[in-house]
Amino acid sequence: MPLRGNGVAVAVAVGAGTEARVSQFFSGQSVRLRGSTVLYKVVAVNSNLVTILVSNPQPDGAYLPFGPTSLQTVDESRLERADDV
């Protein structure tokens, strides 16, 4: 797989003339919604959609209740890696 100047691998789909991009996220990774302190774990990645589940306990030791936003599928552009955990 060819590497671009920033070291990110890019996969190219053959045939349809469209490029298939490799997601920067993977199952089991810790992430946050941009601007949020709540920690999530990546459950599944499908193209640019990422399914996340609230991670308990949080870094401060608190447990968050399971609610409507505990499991959600979001566009990967809304996420950032939580490299500090």
- Residue 40, domain member (yes or no): yes
Output the pTM of the full model.
0.71
- Distance between CA atoms of residues 76 and 78, nearest Å: 5
- Residue 16, domain member (yes or no): no
- Residue 15, domain member (yes or no): no
Contacts of 74 (CB under 8 A, 6+ apart): 33, 49, 50, 52
Range of the domain at 36: 30-81
- Residue 63, domain member (yes or no): yes
- Residue 65, domain member (yes or no): yes
- Residue 61, domain member (yes or no): yes
- Residue 39, domain member (yes or no): yes
- Residue 56, domain member (yes or no): yes
Tokens of 60: 């401060």
Domain count, the chain: 1
- Distance between CA atoms of residues 65 and 60, nearest Å: 15
pLDDT (tens, 9 = 90+) of the chain, 85 residues, equals 444 443 433 333 333 444 556 789 999 999 999 999 999 999 999 989 999 999 999 999 999 999 999 999 999 999 999 988 7
